[in-house]
Structure 1
Amino acid sequence: MAGVGEAAQPTVEVREALADRAAVEQRASRDFTRAAPPAVAPASPVPVATPSPTPDRKKPPRKVVRPKHPRPVAGLDQRQMDNAKAIVDVGRDMRLPRRAMVVAVATAMQESDLYNLASDVLPESFDQPHQGSGSDHDSVGLFQQRPSSGWGTVAELMRPAYAARAFYAALADVPGWADMSVTGAAQAVQISAFPDAYAKHEKRATTVVAALS
């Protein structure tokens, strides 16, 4: 028994239990490792769509649009200028040189003053679009071509485009026409009673063709 004033001493069994408990608590304290927070991967930047470059497409060449009614030049009125345009357009379609167009326009200036004429001796010619009439046998149209000579029908020859094509075809059949004077080339096709009459129209015809081509 402990005396009065002395603290009671734990028994051996109690001391051993306390020692064992302290050892367990110390070991648990050493072994305890606080789990590190999971590593957070840095956020990847959101990809931004990059627009693909627009392919360099070449623009198609602008088509030249010629006015339906070109501005008259060289003293012509609108009807004459429109008829001259029809002659030049056919020459261009046939890929003829400008010289052929000058010959054709000069010829039409002499033959019809660049008007699409009916014939006073061919009543049916007045059924076709026309801009006056003439009385030189059965000659009709811009070039005063005669149906009776095999140039075409009345209806065909009174269409400016057809008449021009018939003239160019005949001109192409003339050997060396490109080396002839305008009046010489025109006369070789037309076989006119006034072979020198075409020469006076060369300058105006040249001006008209230049304006249209």
Structure 2
Amino acid sequence: MNTKLRKSVLGIAGLAFAGGLAAGPLNHHEPTSTATTPAAVVQADKAGGVDTAKLVPHGVQGAQSRIDLNDEQVGNVKAIIAATKKSGLDERAAVISIATSLQESKLENLGHLGDANDHDSLGLFQQRPSSGWGTPKQITDPEYSTMAFQKGLKQVDGWHNMPLTEAAQTVQVSAYPDAYAQWEQQAADLVAQHWNS
């Protein structure tokens, strides 16, 4: 079976499996409005010199959410990509990292949120100092927080071949384990756009 056909079949199987997932943000921090689009199978082509088939090797899972990004959020995307390269990881690690940050903070480097804070969660990935992720200053540094997330990712056997939501959940241990999947297409698009910029 050729690669393109195989990916299409796997993408459709993934859609059937995830067909019951609700669209929209399941983030437990604060609700936001997002647009959803039907899941699509990524075709093997090059965007900005990046092989998009490697960004989403299994096709996206379920309905996809998308938000418009401001300059600060785009800056955080670029910081995550730079930290990914510094960690010696590839574009797939950047997609997982950006999708995780989209779910956890909408790519905003969050400080303490008072009563709305989830325990002592901070930064792009809502990491907790009390759980050993680092100091508040470290966790709110985009490079440090990305590298800390990716250090956890590297410890997950077979992360590179897992569906995004499984890889992210294994590191994050979220109360909403399937929520990461909805951001995979936007994360892949952002990596394709900014990896070589």
Q: What band does the TM-score fall into relative to the shorter chain?
A: 0.5 to 0.7
Normalised by the length of structure 1, the TM-score is 0.59
Normalised by the length of structure 2, the TM-score is 0.63
Among 78, 91, 99, which residue is 1:85 paired with?
Answer: 78
Change in CA separation of 1:137 and 1:183 when aligned onto 2, cut-off 3 Å: same
Stretches of structure 2 that go unaligned for 5 or more consecutive residues are: 1-65
Q: What does residue 107 of structure 2 align with?
A: 114
* 8 Å CA contact retained: 1:74, 1:207: no
Confirm whether residue 104 of structure 1 aligns to residue 97 of structure 2. yes
Stretches of structure 1 that go unaligned for 5 or more consecutive residues are: 1-72, 122-132
Among 173, 177, 190, which residue is 1:191 paired with?
Answer: 173
Q: What does residue 143 of structure 1 align with?
A: 125
Counterpart code for 2:117: S
Flag as ranges the 4+ runs of structure 1 deviating above 3 A: none
- Alpha-carbon distance, 1:134 to partner: 5.0
Higher relative contact order (CA 8 A, sep 6+): 2
Aligned-pair Cα RMSD in Å = 1.6
Rounded to whole Å, the distance in 2 between the matches of 1:134 and 1:210 is: 34
Identity of aligned residues (%): 47
Counterpart code for 2:106: D
SS of the equivalent of 2:99 reads helix
Among 88, 91, 95, which residue is 2:88 paired with?
Answer: 95
Structure 1 residues 52-77: Cα deviation after superposition (integer angstroms, max 9, x where no partner): xxxxxxxxxxxxxxxxxxxxx97211
SS of the equivalent of 1:119 reads coil
Alignment of 1:1-213 (within 5 A): 75-121=68-114, 135-213=117-195
Counterpart code for 2:78: K
